[in-house]
Amino acid sequence: MKKQNIPSWRRLPSLLLALACGLAAGSASAALTDPVQIQTEAYINLVQADQSLDAERLDEALAQYQVARDYYLQLAQDFPDHEPRVIQYRKTYCDNQIADIEHRKAGGQPEELPELEPLPSEALPDAAPDADTQTAPESAAAAERSVEVDYLKNRIASLEAEVAEIDTLQGEIDTLAAQNDKLRRDLEFANGELAKRAGGDQAALEALRAELADKDGRIQSLQKELDSKKQLDQALNDMEAQVNELRAQNDRFAKEIKTLDAELDDAEVRADQAELKAKQAEAKAKDADKKIAALSRKPSAEKAGPAEPAQAAKPAPETAMPVATASPVKATVPPKPIPDGMAASDYVRQLLQEGDNDSALATVQEARKAFPTDMNLVLIEGISLIRLQRYPEAATMLVDLAKNHPKDAEIHATLGAAMMGAGFYEEARRELLMAVRLDKNVGGEYDYNLAQLFALVEPIDLKQARKHYQQARNLGIAADPALEKVLK
């Protein structure tokens, strides 16, 4: 295949081509509206297409010729007065090359393409003697310079000038300021000399004044440029303030989302309670009397339920619903004296923390003789009974206390633990959900109990079990590998 007469495109220096590619890539993110830029982009693709064709990369060359042709079509349509002969010349060249490549890809042989009529700037001079024939292409090539090359050179020179000006701007300001100070000193000296000489050096003084005015003008010009930069800095500061405001709004949104999540959790708890109540209402109405009768016949000394909440979640036959009584279990050890200045409830809690559960029960029962209706003492006696694994007796004491104090999360949570140990799993689930709804941080052990109930006791709800187990872990409860295996 014979290439058409655009030889100068193949002989451009690789550095200039790389700069052209860089400039084109820098503006690729925005739509090209300048005809010179569009022509430059078309030229780059055309040169690359010729290189790909020379390397026999037909698909790559075809794509690049098509891109170049599209740019020339855009120039012809949007800018018909911009070098129409050059644009038509190169568009025709692209069309011929595309047709030839498609013919070759279809299995044909390369064709001799007709010579295009050269552009005026590309036309060769009349035939010269044989001795000058060898130098004619070189002279024509040296004279050939496309609009794109001129644009790139001008653009490179402009950028270099701008960079140099930016680098030296501050130095010039400092230099001019120093010169201005020197000129002012010279002016003062000249004024003194003028006073002595009585106008002998008036011409020199006028020259100094003119030079000073010129320097002042340059300083004012530079100051305006500095003011423009300050305005740019102010615009950047305003943008930073807007970013900070957006971040603050994002933080507010995050807090609102967190609040909505909490409300959603609360709504889920209420929904769970409503669902449980709906399922159990009819059964409870029929079994309430049987449970009360069975509990009243249960021996007070009977050991009920497992020792730990994790074991209490195993299903067991339900017994009767407890009925509130006062001090259902008699202490087996004497009470300990309460230290002076310390409340009975605080001292009993201290005994429970130390693990002296029998003494704690005896001490709180002794304290209740003086204050039989004290809510804290009743609650602590119920906790003491739970520590002693007297779950039915603890539930019996706490059921009336919970009715009289429906908003106390700790009472509901303690009653739920007693119900769970006694085998009243549905009642335990209800009381623990009530406690968590009243206070999400009432205690990690209660979320842990709820996780066991939802995971191991019908109706099983693994989603709720996972949620409450995670809350228990967040509140400091140790991991339970057996429960985690069930929750997977």
Supply the DSSP string of 281-303, one letter for each residue: HHHHHHHHHHHHHHHHTS-TT--
Is the backbone peptide bond immediately before 459 cis, with ω within 30 degrees of 0? yes
Cα separation of 64 and 56, whole Å? 13
The yes-or-no verdict on residue 466 having pLDDT over 50 is yes
Average pLDDT, the chain: 77
Q: What is the separation, in whole angstroms, between the first and last Cα of the chain? A: 71
The yes-or-no verdict on residue 145 having pLDDT over 60 is no
Contact, 65 vs 47, CB < 8 A? no
Q: Where are the domains of the chain?
A: 7-123+138-145, 170-264, 285-487
pLDDT category, 361, cuts 50, 70, 90? very high
Q: Which CATH number fits domain 285-487: 1.25.40.10, 3.30.1330.40, 2.70.98.10, 3.30.2090.10?
A: 1.25.40.10
Specify the pLDDT at position 84.
92
Cα separation of 441 and 436, whole Å? 7
Higher pLDDT, 80 or 134: 80
Higher pLDDT, 348 or 261: 348
The yes-or-no verdict on residue 46 having pLDDT over 60 is yes
pLDDT category, 287, cuts 50, 70, 90? low
Tally DSSP H helices, then E strands, for the chain.
19, 0
